[in-house]
Copies of this chain bind each other. A is one copy, B any other.
Amino acid sequence: MRLSQSLTKPLRERPAEADSANAAYLIQGGFIDQLGAGIYNLLPFGWRVYRKVAQIIREEMDALGAQELNLAALHPTGPWKASGRWDDPEVRDVMYQFKDQRGKDYGLGFTHEEIAAQLAKPHIQSYRDLPQAFYQIQVKFRNEPRAKSGVLRGREFMMKDLYSFHADEADRDAYYDRVLKAYPKIFKRLGLDALTVEASGGVFTKYSHEFQVLAGSGEDTVHYTEDGSFAQNDEIFDEKNVPKDAKNLKKSSAIEVGNIFKLGKRFPEAAGVAFLDKQGNRQVPEMCSYGIGPTRCIGTVVETSHDDNGIIWPAAIAPFAVHIVALGDDADVTKAADKLYADLEQAGVEVLYDDRDESAGVKFNDADLVGIPQRVTVSKKTLEKQSAELKRRDGKKVELVELGTITKKLTS
């Protein structure tokens, strides 16, 4: 992409409306813009990051044998009344519920347990139809009393929600454990170091699990030991649970990027899901749900991976792999930068090419702000040595590399 033709160019000023580091950098860099309190558009650079995050999550869900689908966001009341949650005060507080102009009630999905259970009903009739696991990656709506912290807590956001159904508790626990082990790997791929933390299990199970990234800007508080043998959310923390031999119990604020729950039979029961077991007895399946917030993950990456100059994207989710900066309007520089751009694109590398008529200072500042992992600078001075300057966003070293070898170097 030539930056001259991009819809967005990095903005000169930190946005006044930004309430957090992630909002400030993401808005200034042209990744998102704010439509309303807690409501953001994902602009082309932000959408590129989002699609990479979604694709990583998709691959890991597929590896768990889960099938992708897309559930409606506009919900009639039926399934929510059946589960008793339509009138639950905690739900009413965060679910957008409204009457349309003809008096019909709707809710907007902030989660999909009821819908997942209802759609499974005709397809789960026998023990042979189990287990089942399916997921979606899509938009959710939540009426946050205080939307804040940029894309960390929005009124509209993206969510991956996986639901699984099982013939018995043993099968449920085995699958839950697979997901429990897969999640830290997913976050690692996204560039996040997430702690697996015990949290309240509600009425169905002793603990649920949250995945928490330590960050000063986090809303949650976690207690954990450095050896990894213990981590609990402050809400359920009990010092008596800490293993005797664990050292260095610590306390930190953290951002929750995922959570997983054993839900028992509540939602299948409410939706009338039942199957015949091997003995021909009618049984209600066990259900679990497993969430990850892709937009919140993006915000968390920015919160935990930036410096004073801008974002430092992990390679796996960076909007582009390489940022070419062409300095000055010398014809040879333009020619060499154009060729480098064409060669890299030809080699399948995603490139942002700053071909604008701007000063070196502006271009370098913008490159740091946008945070693409590799910066390649072409100038009259570098061309004297038939070279370009290579610099990683997360390093300080500037390396002179011969033009003829750059594409190979960046693709190997």
Contacts and interface: CB of A to CB of B under 8 A. Distances in A.
Interface of A: 1, 4-9, 11, 30, 33, 35-36, 39-44, 46-47, 50, 65, 67-76, 78-79, 92-93, 96-102, 106, 108, 115, 118-120, 122-123, 128, 132, 134, 138-139, 141, 143, 145, 155-156
B72 A119 contact: no
A7 B131 CA distance: 9
Contact of A98 (B72, B93, B96): B96
A251 B70 CA distance: 38
Q: Which of A7, A46, A47, A134 has the most CB of B within 10 A?
A: A7
Contacts of A11: 122
B97 A93 contact: no
A106 B100 contact: no
Given A36-B76, A143-B101, A68 B96 contact: no
A11 B93 CA distance: 38
A68 B41 contact: no
Given A44-B67, A102-B143, 16 more contacts: A1-B67, A7-B67, A7-B134, A35-B79, A35-B115, A36-B74, A39-B74, A41-B71, A41-B72, A42-B71, A43-B69, A47-B69, A74-B96, A92-B101, A96-B106, A97-B101
B67 A41 contact: no
A6 B68 CA distance: 11
Contacts of A73: 73, 139, 141, 156
A238 B65 CA distance: 57
B119 A155 contact: no
Contact of A50 (B47, B70, B115, B119): B70
Contacts of A65: 5
Given A33-B119, A36-B76, A69 B41 contact: yes
Contacts of A70: 41-42, 47, 50
Contacts of A119: 33, 35, 41, 43
B98 A99 contact: yes
A96 B288 CA distance: 32
Contacts of A115: 35, 41
A78 B67 CA distance: 39
A69 B98 contact: no
B134 A44 contact: yes
Nearest to A38: B74
A287 B78 CA distance: 42
11 contacts: A6-B67, A9-B123, A11-B122, A41-B115, A42-B70, A44-B134, A47-B69, A73-B139, A96-B98, A96-B100, A100-B143
B4 A128 contact: yes
